[in-house]
Amino acid sequence: MAIETLQTLSYSDGSKGWPSFYTYYPDYMIGMNSFFYSFKGGNLFRHNTNTLRNNYYGVQGISTITSVFNPKPTLDIKLFKTLSLESDDSWAVTNLSTDLNNGSMASAYFERKEGEWFTFIRSNANTVNWNFRSANGLGSATAVTGAAVATVITFTEPLGSILSIGDAIYAKTNPELVGIITSMTATTITVDASDPAAYIPVQGDFIVSYKNSVAESHGVLGYYMEFTLTNSNTSPVELFSVGSDIMKSYP
C-alpha cells in the first residue's frame, strides 16, 4: 500500500520552476508587508522570525538539501576528494553517492578552515569492496586456536608490516567476517570473534584482512556525485555554497 506524503512546493518567478520542497503543510499561505504568513488549524503563523528554527506548527524537524556535482558528464571518471561548505555552521552528509561508490560524513568530521567547513570524503563504515587496496590476502591458516574472544590464527610465513591492530579479518573463498585484530606477532594474529554472527575459521581457510573503511577512505569515484546535507539546529544557520576538490581518475 502506498503511503501518501504531503509536501509544500515553492515556485520561483526568476527560475520559472519549482526549486524547493517543504515538509510542513499549511492550510493557506500569503506574503504581506515583507513577511511570509501561513495558517494551520485556524492559527496564524509568521515565518522566519522565531528563535526556534526547524520548528513548524510545534513539530521539530530538520533542514535537508540534496544536490549534485556533475562536471564533464560521462566523459571522465572523477575522484571526488573533499567537501567544503561556505556556511556559518557544519552540516551532516547523510548520503553521498556516485554511480560507483557510497559514503557519508557526520557533522563532527568537518573542520573550520579559512572561514569554510572542510572535510575529506569518507566511505561508509563497514563498507567492503574487494577491488580496493584496503583488502589484502594473508594466506591459508595453518592452525586456529583459543576462545572466540581471542581466536589465534597461525600462518606459515611472516605477515610483514601490512597488518594493523583494528583491521577486520575475513575467511573462506566467499569471505565471511571473523572479527577485529586485537594483537599480533610475526606469524599469528589474535582476533575478537565473539560476535554471535562471526565465522570461526578452521585450518586451511584462506584469510583476508580489510582496513577500516572510514580511516582508509581516499574519496569516491564516479561520473557524478550526489549528496544530501542535513541540519537539525534550532538556531539560524545559513548555507551559501558547497564545493569539492575533483580530479580525473587514472586507473
CB-CB contact of 91 with 242 (8 Å): no
As given in the structure block, the three cell numbers for residue 11 are 515556485
What are the counts of helices (DSSP H) followed by strands (DSSP E) for the chain? 0, 25
Nearest by Cα to 64 from 105, 29, 88, 92: 92
Domains present along the chain, CATH in parentheses:
8-60 (no CATH), 70-126+217-248 (no CATH), 135-210 (2.40.30)
Nearest by Cα to 225 from 64, 92, 104, 91: 104
Tens of pLDDT along the chain (251 residues) come to 445 567 788 888 888 888 888 888 899 988 888 898 999 999 999 988 888 888 888 888 889 999 999 888 777 888 899 999 999 999 999 989 988 888 888 888 899 998 899 999 888 777 787 877 788 999 999 999 999 999 999 999 999 888 999 999 999 888 999 999 999 999 999 999 999 999 999 999 999 999 988 877 778 888 899 999 999 999 989 999 999 999 888 76
Say what the pLDDT of residue 251 is: 67
Instruction: Encode pLDDT of 185-201 as tens digits.
Output: 999 999 999 999 999 99
Say what the pLDDT of residue 4 is: 55
Say what the pLDDT of residue 245 is: 92
